[in-house]
């Protein structure tokens, strides 16, 4: 179902903006958390007082030293429920700033996205981040219910993606390097946001060249095939959610989601930095 990937990609900005918006940084700072600690604590708070080791294992592509530094002391500053409340409040503020709550198709998009998310609830095994978020109550406000639905769909897909990487012997840093080699994301951003040093990046890149997956800093033909395989496999593992809609409703969700992702982009909610 090509429409499943289109539906996810077009609606994903509605969730992803939470990692960039100033509303989130302000809310976390109000709890005594730095921007870095706020990111790790807010996304892992569904676990409860998540250890650095749990975050390292589930977030996958961050430098473990960086994670331990960021997570250390986070739960001394704030309780998980406080962090969750701050995250939802920030999501509500930001999405309203983008006007998502006023889009005419909100009710229909929410109904479709929620159906997909609830179908995913039947498949929690092996998906720890998804399962933790799936245990959270649904918010009352429609715009937040939409954000929660897309959060579930994102983590459902993300857990499957990590499983694919592990099965193919691609570590977290290696996955970043292969992603950077596609040219889809700025290399400097990936290095800085995941806190890998130049030396670590260079050593891992050399390992990928020896495996025949990189040609210089670009994907080799074998590397491109592996990337395609991982993305296709990730799509297939995400299908239990979207297959529940059927082809017609999945296409409808993909069609209607464009203005929602567009509103987030137009409002600048995904700007780096």
The count of residues in the chain is 273
CB neighbour burial string for 122-149, b if at least 16 within 10 angstroms, e if fewer? ebeeebbbbbbbbeeeebeeebbbbbbb
Q: What does the pLDDT look like over 246-271, one tens digit per residue?
A: 999 999 999 999 999 999 999 999 98
Q: For the chain, what are the domain ranges?
A: 2-266
- Closest Cα partner for 180 from 229, 217, 138? 217
> What is the DSSP pairing of strand 214-215 with strand 218-219?
antiparallel
Lookup: tokens for 139? 């918010």
**Token couple for 206:** 């050399």
* Spatial distance between the Cα atoms of 6 and 255, rounded to a whole number of angstroms: 9
Radius of gyration of the chain (CA): 18
Question: Could you tell me the pLDDT band of residue 18, with boundaries at 50, 70 and 90?
Answer: very high
What is the per-residue pLDDT across 83-134, written as a single tens digit (0 to 9) for each?
A: 999 999 999 999 999 999 999 999 999 999 999 999 999 999 999 999 999 9
d(Cα 217, Cα 209) in Å, to the nearest integer?
9
pLDDT 10s digits, 191-222? 888 989 999 999 999 999 999 999 999 999 99
Q: Which residues does residue 219 pair with via DSSP β-bridges, in sequence order?
A: 214
Give CA separation, 241 vs 110, 124, 193, in Å.
Answer: 14, 11, 30
Q: Which two tokens stand for residue 197?
A: 């040093």
Report DSSP state, residue 72. T
φ and ψ at 235, to 5 degrees? Answer: -60, -45
Closest by alpha carbon to 240, among 129, 122, 159? Answer: 122
């Amino acid at each position: 179902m090509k429409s499943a990937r289109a539906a996810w990609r077009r609606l994903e900005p509605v969730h992803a903006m939470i990692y960039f918006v100033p509303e989130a940084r302000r809310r976390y700072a109000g709890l005594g958390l730095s921007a870095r600690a706020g990111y790790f604590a807010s996304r892992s708070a569904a676990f409860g007082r998540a250890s650095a080791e749990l975050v390292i294992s589930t977030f996958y592509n961050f430098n473990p030293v960086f994670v331990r530094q960021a997570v250390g002391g986070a739960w001394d500053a704030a309780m998980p429920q406080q962090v969750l409340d701050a995250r939802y409040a920030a999501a509500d503020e930001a999405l309203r700033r983008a006007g998502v709550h006023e889009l005419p198709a909100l009710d229909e998009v929410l109904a479709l996205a929620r159906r997909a998310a609830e179908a995913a609830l039947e498949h929690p095994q092996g998906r720890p981040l998804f399962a933790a978020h799936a245990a959270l109550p649904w918010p009352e406000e429609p715009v937040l219910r939409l954000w929660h639905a897309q959060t579930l769909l994102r983590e459902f897909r993300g857990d499957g993606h990590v499983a694919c990487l592990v099965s193919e012997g691609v570590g977290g840093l290696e996955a970043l390097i292969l992603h950077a080699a596609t040219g889809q994301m700025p290399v400097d951003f990936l290095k800085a946001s995941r806190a890998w040093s130049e030396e670590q990046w260079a050593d891992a890149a050399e390992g990928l060249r020896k495996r025949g997956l990189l040609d210089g800093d670009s994907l080799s033909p074998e590397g491109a095939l592996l990337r395609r395989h991982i993305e296709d496999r990730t799509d297939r593992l995400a299908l239990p959610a979207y297959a529940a809609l059927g082809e017609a409703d999945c296409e409808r969700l993909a069609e209607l989601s464009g203005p929602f992702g567009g509103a987030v982009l137009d409002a600048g909610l995904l700007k780096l930095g």
